[in-house]
Every structure is written in structure tokens, then in C-alpha cells.
Structure 1
């Protein structure tokens, strides 16, 4: 692997950018393929770019045949990330559970009395308003966002920002009545019916959860389910139109 290729891979990892390294097996020629650009030996090969970007969507490395050449697509995608808005009791259960499943977890809450390292050991904590934190972090398709505060001043800006991004999951704590009022407020902010439909609310699987830990399990279970179904849909072979 070339030094510049290694440097590009490291930069992509640090910035949570998806990247595929296409290596032609006959001569080890390398091409770096991002979702929006390509650099290297076969950067103009549209067939290769299409195959690589499909592999990026699925998140799976594979060997493909392009124009009679065998190409190994080594896919590098950011690890799944969970951003929890609201440093509440449910978050104290949800954060460590998600970490055990290798999610990159961040808790966001401007309330300094709640968002402390002592309440969330081993988890990144940001004492900021959610939309400001999201702007710094950047939201991508490997990210899940859950709002837990019950406070529109904290939850609504987070949901509005997330709904305009490519995150794979958005969940919001609250009853059906609360969710209906949330929909009205976000509609006034310009969120469409189609956009709002992405919000899982009341959040979590319907397993009769009552305690903070049980609710955390229901939320994490729903995130896992949504992520698995998304990857399954992406992996399904496309059927040509008749």
C-alpha cells in the first residue's frame, strides 16, 4: 500500500468519511473511491465506481470483475454512532449498552449539572445545544440520533437538524400526545410530513418497558432492527424491469 493511500485512509477514519480502496489484482494499481469522487489508476471507470459505491452502501468488502479485471474492493466505513440528546436517567443506561455493541456514543446536553463525565464514564459528553454540537460533529448515514429530554427547547432543534441529514435512525421519547404536538411544532419550522415520518416516536420497540434500563433496551433494539433492515435492503439483488 502506498504511503499516500495509507494517509488518505487515516484521514477518512479521523473525519468519519466512507472510502473504498480498489486494488487491481493483476498489478496492485490502487484507486481511492469516495461517495462523491475518485482518485487513482481507475478513477474514470464508471463501472468500477458504481460497484465500489454499492459496496460502500452495504459496508462490505468484496472482489468484483470489471472489464475482465479482478478488483478487490476494501471498504472502510465509519463505525455506527449513537448521539443521545439529553443526559437523563435513560441515557445513563443506553450509553453503556450501546458502547458494548461497538457504537461510538456521544451524549449532548447544555445543562452542565446533567452532562458530566462522572454520570457518563467512558462516554464522550458535549455540554452544548444539540444543533450546535451536530454542526461540529457532522451527521452521516452511520449515525443514529435519540432525543430524551421531553423539553422542546432541547429536542426540537436536534430533531429538525437530524431530519435534514442522512442519519439512519431518529427516535424521540414521549407519549403519542407529545409526539403529535412535536409534529405540529416541527411543521411550523418547515419539516414536511414525509420528513417527520422518519421519527420513531414514541421511541423504542413496544415491549412494555417501564424502567430506564428497560426503555434503553427497547430503544437500542429498535436501532439495531432499523439498521439491520436497511443493510438487508441494500444487499438485496436488484431486479431488472421487465
Structure 2
């Protein structure tokens, strides 16, 4: 998954400044294309660019086409690749081919529609931009395309005519318990594209010395979770073993849209957790959202290996959808 960018925001800003702006989007790739479908490049009438649609000189060719399209007030579908006879020159040395849709803001992509797209992104609301390059039909929707949203996968539908550009909020991971496993999990999560945040009221645990440069909330978990907010692009990982800290966070998460909930502890610990939440009136479906013991069963023993198992399970749920939960690494049986 690619890092979150602000290409639509930049294009909208240029347009509103009167510069004129174009969005170029990779809509299809074959072979070893350097950028994934959905990657974008913003171009102003003055030749300013932000973003990328390839790893080489395709940008230069796209800029020329984009400025011409802006002047003509029309969209264009561009194709580059090995068939051009100069694959090295366009940064597709491995024989890849890409198609790029060029859309001037205003004349082709309505300013109001782009503004709505930007507003949804700002509000952390998953949104899909749906366009038929042939007919010119365009729309925004948050409904349907469930698999595309989960997989962060833009692309053409089976009809070969409808292109869906997925705009998901950045992934976040909220970790309750600034313990030794968290020290390994935080950098792993960041490498995987998550924005991690720690919650632990125990300042000796959640210290700058133990987690240099990280966001740490010294709140009780129920207060920290409430202020942080939970949504469909958030994973919650509970690492304290202490019901006084874990349960208040769980109570909010079970009736939220978080895509992953993982809780450290042995099977015995998890059974007690399930019983507590049954007594509180939570349904079997709600309780079933908890992956406990947390992590895929990879035979993990060290804190780093357990953190790896958590990231693996979190990724599995994100990409494949909710599952019934997995057996835990062996060390967690001690919980």
C-alpha cells in the first residue's frame, strides 16, 4: 500500500488560485510498471507538478499532454510502454506498459466534485471516484466496491469501461499498553503504512525514552479511545493483559467500525474476557470481532516475533476480511 498523499488537494488549490490544474491518474498497467493503478500526478498550467505516474520520463510526456488538454478543455487517455520502442526513455525498462487518464479540473472534472472528494478525504471517509472515460460519466460514492476499498485497489470493472479510483484514509493503529511488544510493533506498523498511536496512563511505560518521537496519550484507555476516534481504517491492539485498561477500550471498539481488534493473552485469559463481555450484554457477533489470543500462530517467542505475528494477522484481516481468529504465538499462552 502506498503512503497517503495530497495530490487531489494540491490540484484543487491550483485550480482555485486561477492557475488551472489537471489530474493525471494511472488507470491500467501491464508488466513491470513502476507505479500502481490509482497513482496520480497533479499538473498546473505553469508546469508545476506533484506526485508521480511512473519512475522515469513519462512525467515529462504527461505534463506536455496535460497542458495541451487543459488548453483544449478535454480529457485524454495516454499509453506508454515497450511498444513505443523506447521503453528505457519513459522509465519502463522492464517492459511495462501504463495507461494514464488526464482530466483538467473544471472543464472535465467538475470543481464541486473534486471539492467533495477532498472533503471526504479530510473527514477520513472512504470514497470512490467512478469514471467512464469513453462517455465522460463521473460520480463519487461511498457505497459498493467493498473489496476494492478493503484491498486499496483501484481499477477497471469487468465491463472494461468503468474505472474506480479508491481514496481510502490513511491506516491507523491504536495500541493500548506501552509494553515491550509495543516497542517492536510501533516501528513495524509505521513501515507497513500505519500511523501508530500509543495509549497508556502509566507514564513510566509510555515514556519518550522508551518510544522516542512517537505519539503517546497518557489517558485511561476509554478516554484516549474516545478522543482518538475509531473508524474503518483503524486497528486496535490491546497489550496490557489488564482488564481495567483493556476492557474500557474494547467496549468502544466492539460497537465501532474498526477493521481489526487484537487482544493479548492466553486462551484462558481470552475465555475470561469473552465471559465478561457476555455478562455485559455484548452479542456473540460483537465479541467475535476480537482476535484473541492476538496474532497468527507462527510460533513466535520474542516480543519482536509476537509483533510480527500481530502485523501479519492485521494485514490478513485488512486484505481478506474478518475471519474467525487464529491460534496465538506460543509465548502468549503465559498470559
1:218 to 309, 326, 334: 309
Distance 2:267 2:274 in 1: 10
Distance 1:30 1:123 in 2: 41
Q: 1:187 to 1:60 in 2, by over 3 A?
A: same
2:296 to 205, 208, 217: 205
Secondary structure of the equivalent of 2:236? strand
Q: Which has the higher contact order (CA 8 A, sep 6+)?
A: 1
**C-alpha contact (below 8 Å) 1:106/1:124 kept by paired residues:** yes
The residue number in structure 1 matching 2:121 is 13
Q: What aligned pairs does 1:93-132 form with structure 2 within 5 A after superposition? A: 93-132=184-223
**C-alpha contact (below 8 Å) 1:85/1:109 kept by paired residues:** yes
Q: Which protein is bigger by CA-based radius of gyration?
A: 2
Distance 1:114 1:138 in 2: 23
**C-alpha contact (below 8 Å) 1:18/1:56 kept by paired residues:** yes
The residue number in structure 1 matching 2:260 is 169
Secondary structure of the equivalent of 2:321? helix
Give, in angstroms, the shift of residue 12 of structure 1: 2.4
Distance 2:141 2:192 in 1: 28
**C-alpha contact (below 8 Å) 1:24/1:71 kept by paired residues:** yes
The residue number in structure 2 matching 1:84 is 175
The residue number in structure 1 matching 2:131 is 23
2:279 to 188, 193, 198: 188
Give, in angstroms, the shift of residue 128 of structure 1: 2.0
The residue number in structure 1 matching 2:235 is 144
Q: 1:195 to 1:72 in 2, by over 3 A?
A: same
What do residues 172-193 of structure 1 show as CA deviations (whole Å, max 9, x unaligned)?
A: 1111221122122222222222
Unaligned runs of 5+ in 2: 1-104, 323-335
Secondary structure of the equivalent of 1:205? coil
Q: Structure 2 length as normaliser, TM-score?
A: 0.57
Distance 1:111 1:12 in 2: 36
The residue number in structure 2 matching 1:227 is 318
Unaligned runs of 5+ in 1: 36-49, 232-242
Q: Structure 1 length as normaliser, TM-score?
A: 0.77
What do residues 40-91 of structure 1 show as CA deviations (whole Å, max 9, x unaligned)?
A: xxxxxxxxxx5x566435532223488xx94332110123322111111111
Give, in angstroms, the shift of residue 152 of structure 1: 0.9
Distance 2:136 2:313 in 1: 42
**C-alpha contact (below 8 Å) 2:177/2:239 kept by paired residues:** yes
Distance 2:252 2:202 in 1: 19
Secondary structure of the equivalent of 1:187? helix
Distance 1:211 1:58 in 2: 30
What is the total number of aligned residue pairs between the two structures?
214
